[in-house]
Structure 1
Amino acid sequence: MEYLEFKFSCSEPFREILIAELAEVGFDSFLETDEGFDAYIQEDLFERASYQEVLEQYQEAASLNVSEGKMAKVNWNEEWEKHYDPIIVRDQVYVRASFHPEQPDFKYEILINPKMSFGTGHHATTYLMISHQLELDHQGKRVLDIGAGTGILAIMAHKLGAAHIEAFDIDEWCVENGDENFNLNGMSDVRMGKGTVRDVRPQGEFDIVLANINKNVLLDEMEVYSSLVKKGGNLLLSGFYEHDITDIVKKANEFGLDLINQKTKDNWAALVLKKL
């Protein structure tokens, strides 16, 4: 599999917005840098017309400069050590890579070696989802993580006492990376599946379903999510902007899901819905 590499220099307020927009047109891996970020996409999936639309939309406002080429073979562990700092969520969760020192004062510690996968806790949506998880009872519960990325939300569920966890993603990088991260966090019995929720077809109902993807996918798959949440269970959603909340909630209501909590950060949103 050949990847194309795009190096973006942009003004800070537009960094996360651009990453989200590029994810919508097929880019699946990102690495933040001092100047902006690097973005990666499989060569056979790259559609230049869609990519150009994103550039034209933000070129002037974001002071955007881009260089592109094929990804050279690099030592990804070394690259992440240069750019990946530990994060703290609500003074309870410490997310670090294996090369960072331990912090035993925190109630929960999550080890993530992200490689090329998305979901380290640095992005607002991951932070918001973990924040919601901290407020839900996971003890002895069945949990499903859809579009799991690095597996960080599944790992958080494990730390919170979930009895059964399933996770999957459409990207083969995530499958490999997720399994590695599960091993690092004492979850060798959990393996990352590959495919969409319709491909994987999880069996049974779950107490908690997690989906941090993007607005279009969430709207398209909402009925499936609802069928997987047991009555009285919770669906946690993120990957969309604050102004998209109305559309997401409207679609969720169609399938018996009621909004009970919401959080926002840096214009991003995350919702907790209950199956009626």
Structure 2
Amino acid sequence: MTYTEVRFKIKPKEEGTQILIAQLDELGFESFVEENNQLKAYIKTEHLSTLNIDDCQIFHNSDFELSYTLHDIEDVNWNQTWEDNFKPVYITSNCVIRAPFHKAFNVEHELIIEPKMSFGTGHHPTTHMMMEMLLEENLKHLSVLDMGCGTGVLSILSEKLGAKHILAIDIDEWCFINTLENKDRNQCKNITVKQGGEELIEGQFDVVLANINRNILLEQLPVYNRHLKKGGKVFLSGFYENDLSKIDDVCQELDLNCVKYQLKNDWICAKYMKN
């Protein structure tokens, strides 16, 4: 199968790269490598022909300077790509995400994640903030819904924090398979994984996690709310600071009150409680 490697140069690099990765992920890019002051992004050539990279919002943001070139490649060794570029991530001093090929860490919460092509390794600000907020919670004996579970990293952390039942849902087949593999890799027993959308949600939950994107959150928040227990908490991320007011308006209509939010590189993570 033929892939296209798109090489991006962006200024300012650190902030711009994180935003660009998130937006390219939404377009269907499957893997990212930061190398020699550039970002390499990989996508099936067939899929790229249906897209316009310049439609990414960041190209219309005057705060950033971007350029890119296209390069056709074949037979990408994804495993080698990840091993060469996936570094361990400290969420806090007692929580680390690492890949199976990294040495073990002597910390309270060690999560072993083989990311494959799905999003959610702790490198992106949204995943990092969601995990930071979860680490402040007492999830002992609680039920958790993880929508758009990606690698399953939030579900795995929830079990390590004491959750008795976690339902992890993702519409993407790669994410579904990856979460199954990662939950077994971390010896998790309380996680149920399903492939599909919000129609698969059953039962009531103490906690809802949704690190997706603004449009899906706005559409699905009423569904999450129907499955959230009174006094339950919703953790939302995957949207920018200028979208917070839209998210907040919908949450207020659903009687969900914002009790905390965190900002990192223009991304928001917000915590709501159901009255």
Task: Tell me the TM-score normalized by structure 1.
Answer: 0.90
Shift in CA distance, 188/160, structure 1 to aligned 2, threshold 3 Å: closer
The 8 Å contact of residues 239 and 269 in structure 1, kept in 2 or not, is answered as yes
Tell me which residue corresponds to 2:222: 223
Tell me which residue corresponds to 2:239: 240
> What is the rounded CA distance, in whole Å, between the counterparts of 1:259 and 1:46 in structure 2?
41
Shift in CA distance, 187/43, structure 1 to aligned 2, threshold 3 Å: farther
Tell me which residue corresponds to 1:153: 154
Correspondent of 1:36 among 19, 39, 62: 39
> What is the rounded CA distance, in whole Å, between the counterparts of 1:165 and 1:42 in structure 2?
36
Gaps of at least 5 residues in structure 1 are none
Measured after TM superposition, the shift of residue 192 of structure 1 is: 2.4
Shift in CA distance, 244/138, structure 1 to aligned 2, threshold 3 Å: same
Shift in CA distance, 3/273, structure 1 to aligned 2, threshold 3 Å: farther
User: SS of the counterpart of 2:194?
Assistant: strand
> What is the rounded CA distance, in whole Å, between the counterparts of 1:247 and 1:56 in structure 2?
23
Percent identity of paired positions between Structure 1 and Structure 2: 35
User: SS of the counterpart of 1:33?
Assistant: strand
Matched pairs, number: 269
> What is the rounded CA distance, in whole Å, between the counterparts of 2:174 and 2:4 in structure 1?
16
The amino acid of 2:204's aligned partner reads E
The 8 Å contact of residues 15 and 37 in structure 1, kept in 2 or not, is answered as no
Measured after TM superposition, the shift of residue 45 of structure 1 is: 8.2
The amino acid of 2:40's aligned partner reads F
> CA RMSD of the aligned region, Å?
2.2
User: SS of the counterpart of 1:64?
Assistant: strand
Tell me which residue corresponds to 1:17: 19
Tell me which residue corresponds to 1:163: 164
> What is the rounded CA distance, in whole Å, between the counterparts of 1:46 and 1:141 in structure 2?
45
Measured after TM superposition, the shift of residue 60 of structure 1 is: 10
Please give the residue correspondences for 1:65-76 in structure 2 after superposition, counting only pairs within 5 Å: 65-69=68-72, 72-76=74-78
Shift in CA distance, 250/60, structure 1 to aligned 2, threshold 3 Å: closer
The amino acid of 2:152's aligned partner reads G
The 8 Å contact of residues 257 and 274 in structure 1, kept in 2 or not, is answered as yes
Task: Tell me the TM-score normalized by structure 2.
Answer: 0.90
Structure in which a larger fraction of residues adopt strand:
2
CA deviation vs aligned residue, 1:130-184 (integer Å, no higher than 9, x gap):
0110111110111110000000000000110100011011111111111110011
Shift in CA distance, 188/232, structure 1 to aligned 2, threshold 3 Å: closer
> What is the rounded CA distance, in whole Å, between the counterparts of 1:256 and 1:22 in structure 2?
34
Shift in CA distance, 272/7, structure 1 to aligned 2, threshold 3 Å: same
The 8 Å contact of residues 3 and 76 in structure 2, kept in 1 or not, is answered as no
Shift in CA distance, 58/138, structure 1 to aligned 2, threshold 3 Å: same
Tell me which residue corresponds to 1:63: 66
Shift in CA distance, 249/42, structure 1 to aligned 2, threshold 3 Å: farther
Gaps of at least 5 residues in structure 2 are none
User: SS of the counterpart of 1:121?
Assistant: coil
The 8 Å contact of residues 164 and 190 in structure 2, kept in 1 or not, is answered as no
